[in-house]
Amino acid sequence: EGHPAAAWFKINDPVLQFDRIQSLVRQGFIVRTRADADTVQARIDDRSQLTKALLSGAQFISTDYPAPRTEWSSYAVRFKGGAVARPNPVSAKNQDLDLDVE
């Protein structure tokens, strides 16, 4: 953004930076964000940051919880149906959003 060699951005907070992430994705940049931070979300099963990350269009979403820590909660970061990828909600054509990605 503003530099000719810019290709990707690390934006850790998809809640506060949601609009910026979507704007960067629409411009063709690659964005990495976080679904959770430390153990905060997992301990209280708070999925609000995860939800924003998934809706933001960021191509990479980091988490420490691909599986739940059951002593805390059922919090885990997974796509519906156990998929490992999905169409991007920002850059995919609307008709492609229901496609299975293998």
Cβ neighbours for 42, distance < 8 A, ≥ 6 positions apart: 36, 64, 65, 68, 69, 72, 73, 75
pTM for this entry: 0.86
Q: Is 1 part of any domain?
A: no
Range(s) of the domain holding residue 48 = 8-96
Q: Is 3 part of any domain?
A: no
Q: Is 101 part of any domain?
A: no
Q: Is 71 part of any domain?
A: yes
* Helices vs. strands in the chain: H and E counts, helices first: 3, 3
Asked if 62 and 32 count as a contact pair (C-beta separation under 8 A), the reply is yes
Burial class from Cβ neighbours inside 10 Å (0-12, 13-18, 19+) for residue 56 reads buried
Residue 19 has what pLDDT? 98
Number of structural domains (the chain) is 1
Per-residue pLDDT of 50-65, as tens digits, reads 999 999 999 999 999 9
Asked if 80 and 66 count as a contact pair (C-beta separation under 8 A), the reply is no
